């Protein structure tokens, strides 16, 4: 018998551009193939929630639903629809949201799986398809959320150790034409108050340099036009020896310099030694969380690592002076942030961009994500609820509109208003004023970027004229 699995990724349509499909489906596909030793006869079709909801197909044996917090409304709706039209089919939900709030497993779902699921999902699938489900067997599956006599039970999560990490089946990743992304670590050693990553992963695990090189080779084999690979690791630079070893292997295999790389850094870890490793790795761009131009707000957001605005500026300077492009992220709308702190931050970043010290800056608005300190704060202050009745769409559209598919600030702001997106700092800066300020500085940033584009056009025209002249003179 050939089994049919549907993998449905719940996404907010405006948040994900083509080329950035979640890799979770690729990792899980590899886990299933490894467990069944490629002997399970199955099809796993990939859907995005919007397209499945528009055109549902209830003929699958098992529905695998993946959801972050901001798309939990869609996940709930999907589960209701599937349960109604395909009562005998199994529904398993996994991903960040159910891991952070497992008590929200709805009646319609058979199981929830918390944490990494490369090993636990195939074990569960095996029990389902061989019809061997029993409470004793379910109790053994790591991270499982299930019901025993109607009561929810939560099995302990177990992290996959380094030596058991497996590579994703890259045929399931889409990727834009020339750029691909990759993850070479899981977790982050820091614990910033707005980010849920460290709470989800608890500890950092690492793919080996050999495995990373293998994955990059596979990407190039599947997409030979690839020019650039972005490491989306929370903190790619956490282990310098691993980076050195990776640079050596990538050079030996002649992957670099043909391919350029980008990654994230943390200002307190940027020094000359790191720069030389980054150069060796052919890293052309780095991003990091600048967060705020106020030391007070920065400390609230990133209490660890002894960070300061000056350290952030020093990191930008050292990266740029070594020819590495720098893009930074900010978090605005933090409770207690004053109007002066906000405008100083945005002014500083625009000035850095204007002077060419900074390539881009994203102005994000603080959003309380489950598993973070600000989630607890928002619960206490009545902004959010741990409930399936809560409108989870309110967690949408906090990232800078330039990181979304929105083409203007106004379009993004309209979406925020339609979805009731949360804004936590109305006690200090009214919502109206806050977005007026954000819009003003987004426009300034746009102008700077446009003028840079114009400069680039002039530069390209000049270069082209020079090339034609040289050609006519028989230069080459």
**Footprint of ligand SF4 on this chain (CB under 6 A)?**
188, 190-192, 195, 197-198, 234-235, 266, 289
Given candidates 62, 117, 263, 278, which one binds ligand B12 under the rule CB under 6 A? 117
Query: 98 with 104: CB under 8 angstroms?
Result: yes
Task: Give φ, ψ of 3 to 5 degrees.
Answer: -85, 150
Query: 314 with 308: CB under 8 angstroms?
Result: no
Determine if 92 is a binding residue for ligand B12 (CB under 6 A).
yes
Comparison of 16 and 167: residue with beta carbon closer to ligand B12: 16
Per-residue contact flags (x/-) with ligand B12 for residues 389 to 408, judged by CB under 6 A: ---------xx---x-----
Per-residue contact flags (x/-) with ligand B12 for residues 229 to 268, judged by CB under 6 A: ---x-x----------------------------------
Strands 151-154 and 144-148, by their bridges, are antiparallel
Given candidates 29, 70, 394, 416, which one binds ligand B12 under the rule CB under 6 A? 70
Helix (H, G, I), strand (E, B) or coil at 213: helix
Comparison of 308 and 403: residue with beta carbon closer to ligand B12: 403
Determine if 334 is a binding residue for ligand B12 (CB under 6 A).
no
Q: Return the closest-CA partner of residue 456 out of 356, 361, 362.
A: 356
The residues near 398 (Cβ < 8 Å, ≥ 6 apart) are 364, 365, 366, 367, 421, 422
Which residues share a beta bridge with 427?
Answer: none
Q: Give which of ligand SF4, ligand B12, none residue 97 binds (C-beta under 5 to 8 Å, depending on kind).
A: ligand B12
C-alpha to C-alpha distance for 325 and 322, rounded to whole angstroms: 9
Determine if 32 is a binding residue for ligand B12 (CB under 6 A).
no
Determine if 121 is a binding residue for ligand B12 (CB under 6 A).
yes
Q: Give which of ligand SF4, ligand B12, none residue 113 binds (C-beta under 5 to 8 Å, depending on kind).
A: ligand B12
Could you tell me what percentage of the chain is helix, strand and coil, using 3-state DSSP and rounding each to the nearest 5? Answer: 45, 15, 40
Maximum separation of any 2 CA atoms in the chain, in Å: 86
Comparison of 183 and 357: residue with beta carbon closer to ligand B12: 183
Q: How far is the CB of 297 from ligand SF4 (least distance, A)?
A: 14
Per-residue contact flags (x/-) with ligand B12 for residues 354 to 383, judged by CB under 6 A: ---------------xx-------------
Kindly tell me the number of DSSP H helices and DSSP E strands found in the chain.
16, 15
Given candidates 29, 46, 47, 69, which one binds ligand B12 under the rule CB under 6 A? 69
Determine if 95 is a binding residue for ligand B12 (CB under 6 A).
yes
Which residues share a beta bridge with 262?
Answer: 230, 285
Query: 140 with 239: CB under 8 angstroms?
Result: no
Q: How far is the CB of 298 from ligand SF4 (least distance, A)?
A: 12
Determine if 74 is a binding residue for ligand B12 (CB under 6 A).
no
C-alpha to C-alpha distance for 171 and 223, rounded to whole angstroms: 10
Determine if 448 is a binding residue for ligand B12 (CB under 6 A).
no
Q: Compute the chain's Rg from CA coordinates.
A: 24
Query: 160 with 119: CB under 8 angstroms?
Result: yes
Q: How far is the CB of 187 from ligand B12 (least distance, A)?
A: 7
Comparison of 93 and 298: residue with beta carbon closer to ligand SF4: 298
Q: Give which of ligand SF4, ligand B12, none residue 298 binds (C-beta under 5 to 8 Å, depending on kind).
A: none
């Amino acid at each position: 018998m050939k089994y049919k699995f549907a993998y449905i990724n719940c996404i907010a349509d405006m948040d994900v551009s083509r080329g950035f499909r979640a890799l979770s489906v690729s990792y899980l596909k590899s886990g299933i193939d490894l467990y069944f030793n490629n002997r399970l006869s199955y099809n796993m079709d990939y859907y995005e929630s919007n397209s499945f909801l528009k055109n549902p197909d209830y003929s699958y044996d098992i529905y695998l639903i993946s959801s972050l917090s901001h798309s939990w409304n869609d996940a709930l709706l999907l589960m209701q629809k599937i349960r109604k039209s395909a009562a005998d089919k199994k529904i398993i939900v996994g991903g960040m949201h159910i891991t952070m709030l497992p008590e929200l497993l709805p009646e319609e779902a058979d199981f929830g799986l918390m944490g990494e699921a490369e090993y636990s999902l195939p074990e569960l699938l095996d029990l389902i398809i061989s019809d061997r489900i029993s409470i004793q067997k379910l109790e053994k599956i790591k991270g499982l959320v299930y019901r025993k006599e109607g009561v929810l039970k939560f099995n302990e999560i177990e992290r996959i150790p380094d030596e058991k990490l497996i590579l994703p089946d890259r045929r399931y990743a889409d990727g834009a034409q020339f750029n691909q992304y990759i993850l070479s670590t899981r977790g982050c050693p820091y614990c910033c108050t707005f980010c849920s990553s460290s709470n989800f992963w608890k500890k950092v695990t690492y793919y080996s340099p050999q495995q990373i090189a293998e994955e990059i080779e596979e990407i190039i084999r599947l997409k030979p036009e690839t020019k650039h690979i972005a490491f989306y690791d929370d903190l790619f630079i956490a282990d310098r020896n691993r980076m050195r070893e990776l640079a050596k292997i990538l050079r030996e295999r002649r992957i670099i310099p043909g391919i350029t790389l980008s990654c994230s850094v943390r200002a307190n870890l940027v020094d000359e030694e790191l720069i030389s490793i980054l150069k060796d790795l052919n890293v052309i761009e780095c991003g990091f969380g600048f967060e705020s131009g106020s030391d007070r707000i920065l400390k609230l957001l990133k209490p660890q690592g002894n960070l300061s605005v000056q350290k952030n500026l020093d990191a930008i300077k050292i990266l740029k002076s070594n020819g590495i492009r720098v893009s930074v992220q900010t978090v605005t709308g933090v409770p207690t942030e004053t109007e002066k702190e906000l405008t100083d931050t945005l002014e500083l970043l625009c000035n850095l961009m204007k002077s060419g010290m900074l390539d881009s800056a994203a102005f994000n608005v603080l959003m309380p994500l489950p598993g973070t300190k600000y989630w607890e704060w928002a619960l206490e202050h009545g902004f959010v609820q741990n409930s399936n009745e809560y409108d989870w769409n309110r967690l949408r559209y906090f990232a800078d509109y330039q990181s979304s598919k929105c083409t203007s600030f106004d379009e993004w702001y309209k979406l925020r208003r339609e979805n009731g997106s949360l804004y936590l700092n109305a006690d200090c800066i009214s919502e109206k004023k806050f977005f007026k300020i954000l819009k003003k500085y987004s426009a300034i940033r746009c102008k700077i970027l446009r003028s840079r584009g114009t400069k680039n056009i002039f530069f390209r025209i000049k270069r082209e004229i020079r090339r034609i002249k040289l050609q006519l003179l028989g230069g080459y």
